[in-house]
């Protein structure tokens, strides 16, 4: 793996011994920054109401079938009374916010400040855009205020968000909210590996863990799964 000067500098910095004053100064400012992100997010999200999150790639183009499906899914969810949360960026995230905006629904963006690739999309409500420096703070807000997770095709970030939600449900840190993987062909290889290796060969998960999520191929199926689940429950923050 090739590393640039910035990468090398960060690695060297991690191995450098710091004196006590440096430790206190650096860690104290980090704590205050983290706290400020949590406070800002809690204040805004507490007023938003029941929402479903759409995860997916920032790289998906508008002509892609999954972009178009994300627009349709989010529009249908809004018509059924749900607000819509995305990661706030382009691609699938833009599609989710675009569908919500088209139906005049709540369109929330939890954006992340990155040195490349992501800036917030124009379909987020002006009072519902939050930008984070820390991925872990952002993920906490996703799982606290999302009461359903729609997982469109994506890369490392999408997989991270998917397994965060699965882990929290598996360990009963949050309720068993619906997780819907969209695109059976896209997810087939991962699901086969989970079944044959994680479950059957290595016994690293239990058979019932394979029931923590659903797979769907149409917007209609996705919304039916969400509606069937919430026909039994009231919507409220997760913790």
Provide mean pLDDT across the span 122-127: 95
Tell me: pLDDT of 9 over 80. no
Sorting pLDDT into bands at 50, 70 and 90, what band is 17?
Answer: low
Tally of domains within the chain: 1
Compute CA 236 distance to the chain's CA centroid, rounded to the nearest angstrom: 18
Per the domain annotation, does 49 fall within a domain? yes
Tell me: pLDDT of 19 over 80. no
Per the domain annotation, does 236 fall within a domain? no
* More reliable by pLDDT, 30 or 150: 150
Provide mean pLDDT across the span 79-101: 96
Structure tokens that stand for 76 in this block: 């249908």
Structure tokens that stand for 146 in this block: 């999302």
Provide mean pLDDT across the span 68-77: 98
- Enclosing domain of residue 186: 14-230
* More reliable by pLDDT, 49 or 75: 75
**Could you give the CA distance from residue 94 to residue 106 in angstroms, rounded to a whole number?**
14
Per the domain annotation, does 4 fall within a domain? no
pLDDT value of residue 233: 67
Contact 110/86 with Cβ under 8 angstroms?
Answer: yes
Mean pLDDT score of the chain? 90
How many other β-carbons are positioned within 10 Å of the β-carbon of residue 191?
Answer: 14
The pairing of strands 149-151 and 51-55 is: parallel
- Residue 203: DSSP 8-state: -
**Could you give the CA distance from residue 111 to residue 49 in angstroms, rounded to a whole number?**
19
pLDDT value of residue 236: 55
Per the DSSP assignment, residues forming a β-bridge with 127 are none
Per the domain annotation, does 8 fall within a domain? no
**Could you give the CA distance from residue 43 to residue 126 in angstroms, rounded to a whole number?**
15
pLDDT value of residue 2: 59
How many other β-carbons are positioned within 10 Å of the β-carbon of residue 100?
Answer: 31
Long-range contacts of 113-122 (CB under 8 A, 24+ apart): 117/58, 117/59, 117/89, 118/58, 118/87, 118/88, 118/89, 118/90, 119/89, 119/90, 120/88, 120/89, 121/88, 121/89, 121/90, 121/93, 121/94, 121/97
CATH number at 90 reads 3.40.50.450
Per the domain annotation, does 214 fall within a domain? yes
Tell me: pLDDT of 206 over 60. yes
Per the domain annotation, does 235 fall within a domain? no
Per the domain annotation, does 168 fall within a domain? yes
Lowest mean pLDDT among 4-8, 125-129, 162-166: 4-8
């Amino acid at each position: 793996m090739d590393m640039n000067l910035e990468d090398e500098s960060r690695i060297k910095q991690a191995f450098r011994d710091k004196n006590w004053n440096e430790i206190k100064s650096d860690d104290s400012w980090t704590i205050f920054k983290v706290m400020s992100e949590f406070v800002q997010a809690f204040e805004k999200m507490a007023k938003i109401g029941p929402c479903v999150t759409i995860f997916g790639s920032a790289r998906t183009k508008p002509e892609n079938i999954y972009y178009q499906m994300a627009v349709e899914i989010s529009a249908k969810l809004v018509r059924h009374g749900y607000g819509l949360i995305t990661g706030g960026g382009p691609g699938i995230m833009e599609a989710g916010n675009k569908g919500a905006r088209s139906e005049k629904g709540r369109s929330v963006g939890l954006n992340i400040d990155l040195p490349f690739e992501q800036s917030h999309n124009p379909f987020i409500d002006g009072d519902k855009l939050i930008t984070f420096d820390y991925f872990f703070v952002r993920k906490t807000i996703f799982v606290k205020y999302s009461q359903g997770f729609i997982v469109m095709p994506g890369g490392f970030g999408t997989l991270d968000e998917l397994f965060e939600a699965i882990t929290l449900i598996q360990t009963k840190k949050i309720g068993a909210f619906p997780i819907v993987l969209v695109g059976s062909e896209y997810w087939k290889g991962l699901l086969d590996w989970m079944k044959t290796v994680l479950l059957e060969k290595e016994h690293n998960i239990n058979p019932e863990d394979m029931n923590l999520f659903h797979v769907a191929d149409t917007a209609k199926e996705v919304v039916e799964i969400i509606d069937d689940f919430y026909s039994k429950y009231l919507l409220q923050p997760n913790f």
